[in-house]
Chain A
């Protein structure tokens, strides 16, 4: 696959600030009190994306897979830290999250390369890796957040199951199932409605860049199916490793339910 290219000037970017002004005006008019946040969002997105643009440019110039690995490793670490902030109720969540994101990224990228979908080149692995880690982070964060809620809410049922001589794995099975489902459901639902309710980003980008619509659609499908695999893996690994942290080796709940 070779991508078409278009030129976008800073002037074009500046022109779209008109739409940001609309957002600020709406917030000010209806007192949503988001003007400052919108300002921060605009500045941060400009700085972050410009910086990552230079990094990607550098990696493309070097044409070395080691730089790709290093970039994805950095994304995995930041992604895991970000996800941990949303999974505060889960004890020691960072380790499971790091492993979940790293393994999901490695397995997914390894598979699409092995199947010959993408060449093992920075031009493909950097953008696909970024999407895989980003979506895996969201799925793992949602799944662990739900897991924490479920353990708190259903501590009595879990302990009642342990009281029958069930292992912690057996006692946690219903909450593991529900948490995994909640981590995956957003992407599954958006994949169902794609093309009808919204156009996904990759396809929009390719169409804007002048690509043939058939190619744009096919690449978008490849990415959607790839992401389905990666969020399932990330959710599964994060939950499988994290739920154990709620139990002792003697199959007891660490946080006993209130009597």
Chain B
């Protein structure tokens, strides 16, 4: 298993968000699905230590994530958050910022291509992009770290149907071109079916089902 959560509890403002969650996410394409407020974005943040649980253990490739250097872990297990989250400056500056954090020289054109943007976007001001373009720019920025795992927090929730389809196609294409595992957070069960092989379903901070998508979410 890529990630294992064992009796994980986390609180926000003294309110329990995840209650003794025990779940596993294998390599490949998995997703965490549930209605809004079910704790799925919070679960995602536990996977690369943007937050720590008050109780329980999160393991990445068998080792407790608290034993890892958090900065190194986040470059290997990179989270693409919900909007808006680009830095001021051009798209290229955003991509370079991430690459420099990982000590890499980025191939900006290729990274934009992987994220479904043509190279003219490199010089575009990040503040003047459409929501779909911002989502792709954030994806290119995350890919600049050359991560092994991408954590995608509702990547299409702010998009219309056409843009959503295009981003989904980009993500499917990305997995064919790059060896990378993805954990997708979504409230949309149809999207979970289209995009992943494994699902963990949450409701009100508890796991209600988990397993292969074919078995847990039959069409």
Specify which chain A residues have a CB less than 8 angstroms from the CB of B12 in the assembled complex.
Answer: 256
Picked from B41, B75, B84, B86, the residue with its CB within 8 Å of the CB of A165 is: B75
Distance to closest chain A CB from B58 (angstroms) = 13
B contacts with A: majority SS: mixed
**A161 at interface by CB-CB < 8 Å:** yes
Most buried by B among A156, A174, A248, A259: A259
Give the distance to chain B from A194, nearest Cβ to Cβ, in Å. 32
State whether B49 touches A252 (Cβ < 8 A).
yes
Question: Which partner residue on chain A sits nearest B42 by CB separation?
Answer: A259
| A 248-259 binary contact with B (CB < 8 Å = 1; else 0) | 101111001001
Mask of A154-182 contacts with B, CB within 8 angstroms, 1/0: 00110111111111001000100000000
Q: How many A residues touch the partner, as a band?
A: 20 to 34
> Which residues of chain B are near A170, meaning CB under 8 Å?
101
Count of chain B residues near A, Cβ 8 A: 35
CB distance from A93 to the nearest CB of B (A): 21
Most chain B Cβ neighbours within 10 Å, of A159, A164, A166, A259: A164
B169 in the interface (beta carbon within 8 A): no
A25–B1 CA distance with the chains assembled, in angstroms? 78
B71 touches A252 (CB 8 A): no
| Contacting pair A160 B49 (CB below 8 A) | no
Contact residues of A with B, CB < 8 Å? 156-157, 159-167, 170, 174, 248, 250-253, 256, 259
The residues of B with any CB-CB pair to A shorter than 8 Å are 12, 37, 41-42, 45, 48-52, 70-75, 78-88, 97-98, 101-102, 138, 141-142, 145
Could you show 25 A-B contacts with beta carbons less than 8 Å apart? A156-B81, A156-B83, A156-B84, A157-B86, A157-B87, A159-B50, A160-B85, A160-B86, A161-B87, A162-B74, A163-B50, A164-B141, A164-B142, A165-B71, A165-B74, A165-B101, A165-B102, A166-B101, A174-B87, A250-B49, A250-B52, A250-B70, A252-B50, A252-B51, A259-B42
8 smallest CB-CB distances across A and B, nearest first, come from A160-B85, A165-B75, A259-B41, A165-B74, A163-B79, A165-B71, A250-B70, A160-B81
